[in-house]
Amino acid sequence: MGIIERLKQGNTSSGIAALGNTFLAAIKGVAAAFSGSGTMFASAMHSLADAVNQGFVYFGSVLAELPPSKRFPAGFGRVINIFCMIAVVVVTIMAYETIKEGWHLLQHPAESTHFWLNLIILLVALLVDGFILYKAMKEIRMETGGDKAVAIIPYAFKNVNKASPATRLVFYEDLVATAGAVLAIIGIVLAQFFSILAADGIASMIIGILMLYVAFRVGYDNMVGLIGVSAPAEIQDKIYNIVLKDEDVVDIKRIRMIQEGRLYHVEGTVELKKGLSLDEADDIKYRLRDVLLREPEVADVLLGIVETDDIKNWNPEEKK
């Protein structure tokens, strides 16, 4: 597979977000330099952090899609978690700089200039960040198998934790970016028309605090992913039902589903009905494996088979 084909496999939301935020960081940086607006500086720092992060995450998502090899038989799914942790460090540093600048402006408020330039750029940022956020919401719906008829905004908030690490990061970052653009607009309007110069510093500090929240949220999610987290209850129920639906399966001895990036590894032992030959049992095992591998969430399957011991071992509610 060529480089272009590999790049196409990367996370769409993070790729679009990286390009969009690079553009926003550039125009906001120019506006901040001309106007001296602390709020605009904070917003520019946020966009720059987002651009760097989402660029890292996009290339991490490309690497995560590489097929397993002899040296790495479990695949590269957790690579995306490493890249997201790098992004967390960048966000934290930018958040610190933003809060520090906001505190400085709060202690020493100064009147900014070029109000209309700042306002126009922030409105452009609001549109671009809002568009990226909407794309991330669509990606969440696609990755979690949501119905296109459902309302996308409440669905995205409810199911964001089931999306891939890259999509989650884009969602959280651009949710804060969109809110930050609104706060920045409020800050410069209050400073310009009501002479509340402290609003500039307060808005900057709030944006920085929101960035810290993103760093904590994304950092926690990816730390869990690096350790190895079990599949969500919905995915587990789906796998249980597929296995137990087979007419030759009597019970599940044990089963484990571990998340790797946006996919899941399934490993377990199933009990088959008595009286089957070894060849028949092997055929059933491979049949089950093939059925599970047809599910879009499943990366690989390792199943063992034993004859039923007539003891009910499996209670999904107890295993969760």
Show the domains of the chain with their CATH numbers: 3-227 (1.20.1510), 233-307 (3.30.70.1350)
Q: What is the pTM of this model?
A: 0.69
User: Which pLDDT belongs to residue 232?
Assistant: 79
User: Helix/strand/coil (H, E, C) string of the chain?
Assistant: CCHHHHHHCCCHHHHHHHHHHHHHHHHHHHHHHHHCCHHHHHHHHHHHHHHHHHHHHHHHHHHHCCCCCCCCCCCCCCHHHHHHHHHHHHHHHHHHHHHHHHHHHHHCCCCCCCHHHHHHHHHHHHHHHHHHHHHHHHHHHHHCCCCCCCCHHHHHHHHHHHCCHHHHHHHHHHHHHHHHHHHHHHHHHHHHHCCCCHHHHHHHHHHHHHHHHHHHHHHHHHHHHHHCCECCHHHHHHHHHHHHHCCCEEEEEEEEEEEECCEEEEEEEEEECCCCCHHHHHHHHHHHHHHHHCCCCEEEEEEEEEECCCCCCCCHHHHC
pLDDT 10s digit of each residue in the chain, 320 long? 556 666 666 677 788 888 888 888 888 888 888 877 766 777 787 788 778 878 888 888 888 777 777 887 767 777 877 887 887 888 888 888 888 878 887 887 766 667 788 888 889 888 988 998 998 899 888 887 777 778 888 999 888 877 877 788 888 888 888 888 888 888 878 877 787 877 777 887 888 888 888 888 888 877 877 777 788 778 888 898 999 999 999 998 888 888 776 678 899 999 999 888 888 999 999 999 999 999 888 888 989 999 888 888 776 555 55
The string of pLDDT tens digits covering residues 146-204 is 777 788 889 998 888 778 777 888 888 888 888 888 888 888 788 777 878 777 778 87
User: Which pLDDT belongs to residue 288?
Assistant: 93
